[in-house]
Structure 1
Amino acid sequence: MGVEIQIDNLSKSFGKQLIWGNVTLTVPAGEVSVMLGPSGTGKSVLLKTLIGLLKPDEGSVVIEGTDIATCSEKDLYEIRKLFGVLFQDGAMFGSMNLYDNVAFPLREHTKKSESEIRDIVMEKMDLVGLLGAEDKLPGEISGGMRKRAGLARALVLDPEIVLFDEPDSGLDPVRTAFLNQLIVDLNAQIDATFLIVTHDINTARTVPDNIGLLYHKHLAMFGPREMLLSSEEPVVRQFLNAQRVGPIGMSEEKDADELEAEKDQEMPPLPPIPMQLEPSNGIPRRSQRPAGEWCREHGVTPPPGSFDGNMSMATGG
């Protein structure tokens, strides 16, 4: 089972430029969480802070009792063994074939024999559907295959936390759909904590258990998927439903004139909440909640047509 990430009052600046401040949330153990936000809001900076590549100006990131913002380099090295990271472009070594790329963390961080390494590498390549491609170089395969190879490498140390930095960037909608299904299937199999940074709204609406939104140098909201997909908070509603009307503009925040011009415009109605993507075998993940459960528990009426039109699931009727 994955481990919880407790983030408290986290702030990060580069020089005089505040990236985000007072970020507080708990990423639940074993669940899939997505972090959204307009371009330039520091989503990737947040991931780098969580693994200690960047030090925050204030606040704490506590994992299994260790605050990685203040711990020693030795303790940070040990905590990092809990992590697997899928970088935006796969970050593969171009001169190594896929097998050696995936084997690299095992050779660097363990004393396993080459025969043990081979068993693990082939197991992970099988998990991501790359058996038979282990002798290929990164330059000889598609972007989608490089993403899957990067994911196999992120999994070889059996991490309890897996971070995905825009896994869908550069992929067409079909490959993104396949990758999303793979992420859901992997979470069901390894039960690790997944945190995904993405711009893809369909991914955010169908894959995670929880959604967060960074906006205007702070965390606008973080919570269960249904909470955000039924939210009337303008910035959350605008972003999650890809609407033009709302506080977000081309330069992140609309100016006073833009807001004044649209003050009499009503925001479009909330679209239906889709069913959450399930594992391929049809067996719900441990953390997966029945459709409409959060809405029922909190007395929220979901938008018409939610959950494939089965409103009895959302209302208990």
Structure 2
Amino acid sequence: MGVEIRVEGLTKSFHGQVVWRDVTLTIPAGEISVMLGPSGTGKSVFLKCLVGLLKPDRGHIYVDGHDIATCGERELYAVRKRFGVLFQDGALFGSMSVYDNVAFPLREHTRLSEREIRSIVMEKIELVGLLGSERKLPSEISGGMRKRAGLARALVLDPEIMLFDEPDSGLDPVRTAYLNQLIVDLNQQTGATFLIVTHDVNTARTVPDNIGLLYHQHLAMFGPREMCLCSEEPVVRQFLNAQRIGPIGMAEEKDADELAAEAASSAELPPLPPIPLQLQPSNGLPRPSQRPPGQWCAEHGVTPPPGSFQSTTPTFPPVTAHQTGGGPS
């Protein structure tokens, strides 16, 4: 099962340049959360701080009583084994086959026999649809397949926390849809805590239980999906609905002249689009943190946009090795 991650007053800078300051949030145990933000706002830096690859300037990151931001190397090493991380490019060892890449954490961190390792590795390889490609080198498979191989490796120690750094970058919409379904299915099967960094607005609107947005050196918002998709806060509304009107410009933040010109034009914001239903596990069972559609809105007296929570998107069948194992992606 997953564990809660509690972040308090986290601040990070490089050479005097602040990335973000005083970030405070709680990532609920066992749920899927998404972290959004314009390019350059420090989303990947945030993930690296969570897993202890970077030390923040100030603040705390509590995982089951352990403060990753301040603990020693021995304690950090033990806590890291509770994480699985899927990096943007898969971060595979180029000289190792897919099989050996996935087996690497088991050989490094356990005393399992090669027979036991093979059973676990092949289970994870099948889970991500790569059966038949296990003996290939990373250079011999496509970018999408390398991502899935990286995902299999991240899952091989059955982590309680999974971090995904832009898993959909470089993927076409169809492969992104299959990957999103796989993430939802894995969350249901493992009960682990998932945090996804992404730029894909459709992913952010349909996959998570919670949404966060980093912008202009701070955390603009973090909370339940429905709260964020109903938000009238300008930067949250603009980003989640892919609108040009708002404080975000081509170079992250619009200057005063741009904002003044926008206000003078009396341009009206388009209405908020309907809130879609959450993507459901392909086996038909409820998500671990399933809530009735519209529950947050009803509890907080918020009227959702017209047409919200209506089934308008098709469901996807389970991802299988036959469907994804050898084709390009």
Q: Tell me what 1:211 maps to.
A: 211
What amino acid sits opposite 1:165 in the alignment? D
Find the aligned partners of 2:189 and 2:238 in 1 and give their Cα distance.
Answer: 34
SS at match of 2:62: strand
What amino acid sits opposite 1:306 in the alignment? S
| Alignment partner of 1:268 out of 260, 270, 273 | 270
How many residue pairs end up in the alignment?
310
What amino acid sits opposite 2:59 in the alignment? G
Query: Which range is displaced more, 3-12 or 141-150?
Result: 141-150
**1:309 Cα deviation from its structure 2 partner:** 6.8
The reply on whether 1:223 has 2:212 as its aligned counterpart is: no
CA RMSD between the two structures: 1.0
Find the aligned partners of 1:188 and 1:199 in 2 and give their Cα distance.
Answer: 23
**1:56 Cα deviation from its structure 2 partner:** 0.5
Query: Which range is displaced more, 291-300 or 214-223?
Result: 291-300
Find the aligned partners of 2:160 and 2:127 in 1 and give their Cα distance.
Answer: 16
Find the aligned partners of 2:193 and 2:203 in 1 and give their Cα distance.
Answer: 17
| TM-score (normalised: structure 2) | 0.93
The reply on whether 1:11 has 2:16 as its aligned counterpart is: no
Tell me the alpha carbon deviations over residues 219-252 of structure 1, each in whole angstroms, 9 at most, x when there is no partner. Answer: 0000000000010101000000000000000111
What amino acid sits opposite 1:292 in the alignment? G
Query: Which range is displaced more, 35-44 or 142-151?
Result: 142-151
SS at match of 1:135: coil
8 Å CA contact 2:4, 2:64 repeated in 1: yes
**1:43 Cα deviation from its structure 2 partner:** 0.1
**1:50 Cα deviation from its structure 2 partner:** 0.4
Tell me the alpha carbon deviations over residues 122-176 of structure 1, each in whole angstroms, 9 at most, x when there is no partner. Answer: 1111111112221111111121111111000000011000000000011111110
Q: Tell me what 2:320 maps to.
A: none
Find the aligned partners of 2:311 and 2:205 in 1 and give their Cα distance.
Answer: 16
**1:28 Cα deviation from its structure 2 partner:** 0.3
Find the aligned partners of 2:299 and 2:222 in 1 and give their Cα distance.
Answer: 17
Query: Which range is displaced more, 142-151 or 79-88?
Result: 142-151
% identical aligned pairs = 78
Q: Tell me what 1:94 maps to.
A: 94
Find the aligned partners of 1:309 and 1:54 in 2 and give their Cα distance.
Answer: 42
Q: Tell me what 2:22 maps to.
A: 22
Find the aligned partners of 1:188 and 1:52 in 2 and give their Cα distance.
Answer: 26
What amino acid sits opposite 2:144 in the alignment? G
Gaps of 5+ in 2: 313-329
Q: Tell me what 1:43 maps to.
A: 43
Q: Tell me what 1:124 maps to.
A: 124
SS at match of 1:262: helix
8 Å CA contact 2:276, 2:311 repeated in 1: no
SS at match of 1:273: coil
Pairing of 1:1-317 with structure 2 (within 5 A): 1-263=1-263, 264-308=266-310
Find the aligned partners of 2:181 and 2:137 in 1 and give their Cα distance.
Answer: 25
8 Å CA contact 2:277, 2:311 repeated in 1: no
Find the aligned partners of 1:170 and 1:112 in 2 and give their Cα distance.
Answer: 35
Q: Tell me what 1:314 maps to.
A: none
8 Å CA contact 2:275, 2:309 repeated in 1: yes
Find the aligned partners of 1:110 and 1:20 in 2 and give their Cα distance.
Answer: 37
Tell me the alpha carbon deviations over residues 46-93 of structure 1, each in whole angstroms, 9 at most, x when there is no partner. Answer: 000001110000000000101011111000000000000000000111
